[in-house]
């Protein structure tokens, strides 16, 4: 992230000490709009409720977003963080917390035209993704993803696929997983897996496809089922739709159906 708000974070803030907080990473379009802002704030609110963190007022959240957006020259990223704040004794949270609200901004990651058109190379991460009592919420404890991303870098992949302990494909290190089979679309059931994060772009795509009468099967399948897929792609609210051309010994082309989805998401951000 290239810029951050000038206020310093208290060294005893629970977000720093224990990962006791939440975050959302939002894409800002070239015209300054944040097309998925409402979706991000909704998920932030759900996460805060689950963790028992008071949700900052709408006015306070909007002011933070506006300040962050004003520091960007055109398109970019805003990372909004809410922690439980300072206080409590050890792990015990304060009875009446005062949440901290922070933001950072940065540039969009660059994916070259070939990768976006033909797909990226993904590897299999060695450590399974464990059951998480706060699955689905974008909490600040992302150590599993940090370690997985380090493995991706060591192996020279462009992304890594995280599996369950039963070797079921769940998600990439920073993106959700989709596939196209002969009978339609598919994405892993992260609720049943009790782990992972259902991304905002994943939710938008599920809603979009259902609106177009293109339902998505959502269940858990063995890794071997991916070899029967017509196409595999990853998605998040920053990159949109990113095809995968290779995973281990399997390779896929990018069909028109996936290219069309990619174009619709790009249009959402005016790209």
67: helix, coil or strand? helix
Q: Which of 24, 25, 187, 195 is catalytic?
A: 25
SS (H, E, C) 2-35: CEECCCCCCCCEHHHHHCCEEEEEEEECCCCCCC
Q: Which of 83, 105, 159, 171 is catalytic?
A: 171
Half-sphere exposure of 202 (CA within 13 A, CB side): 23
- Contact present, 105 and 120 (Cβ < 8 Å): no
Instruction: Specify whether 138 is catalytic.
Output: yes
Look at residues 246, 180, 264 and name the one whose alpha carbon lies nearest to residue 215.
180
Q: How far apart are CA 235 and CA 233, in angstroms?
A: 7
Q: Which of 83, 138, 159, 235 is catalytic?
A: 138
Q: Is 197 exposed, middle or buried (0-12, 13-18, 19+ CB in 10 A)?
A: buried
Instruction: Specify whether 98 is catalytic.
Output: no
Instruction: Specify whether 171 is catalytic.
Output: yes
Q: How far apart are CA 244 and CA 133, in angstroms?
A: 30
Q: How far apart are CA 154 and CA 202, in angstroms?
A: 28
Catalytic residue numbers, as ranges: 25, 138, 171
């Amino acid at each position: 992230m290239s810029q951050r708000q000038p206020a310093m974070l208290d060294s005893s803030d629970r977000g720093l000490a224990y990962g006791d907080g939440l975050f959302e990473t939002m894409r800002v379009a070239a015209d300054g709009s944040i097309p998925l802002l409402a979706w991000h704030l909704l998920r932030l609110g759900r996460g805060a409720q689950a963790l028992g963190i008071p949700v900052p007022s709408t006015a306070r959240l909007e002011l933070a977003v506006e300040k962050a957006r004003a520091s960007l020259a055109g398109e970019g990223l805003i990372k909004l963080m809410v922690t439980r704040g300072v206080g409590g004794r050890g792990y015990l949270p304060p009875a009446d917390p005062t949440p901290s609200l922070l933001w950072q901004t940065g540039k969009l990651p660059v994916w070259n035209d070939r990768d976006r058109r033909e797909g990226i190379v993904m590897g299999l991460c060695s450590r399974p993704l464990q059951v998480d009592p706060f699955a689905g919420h974008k909490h600040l404890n992302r150590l599993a993803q940090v370690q997985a991303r380090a493995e991706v870098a060591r192996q020279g992949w462009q992304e890594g696929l995280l599996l369950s302990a039963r070797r079921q494909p769940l998600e990439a290190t920073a993106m959700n997983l989709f596939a196209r089979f002969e009978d339609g679309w598919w994405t892993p059931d992260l609720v049943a897996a009790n782990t992972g994060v259902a991304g905002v772009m994943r939710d938008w795509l599920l809603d979009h496809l259902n609106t177009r009468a293109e339902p998505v099967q959502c269940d858990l399948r063995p890794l071997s089922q991916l070899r029967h897929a017509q196409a595999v792609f990853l998605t998040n609210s920053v990159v949109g739709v990113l095809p995968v051309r290779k995973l281990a010994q399997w390779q896929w082309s990018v069909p028109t159906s996936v290219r069309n989805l990619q174009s619709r998401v790009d249009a959402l951000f005016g790209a």
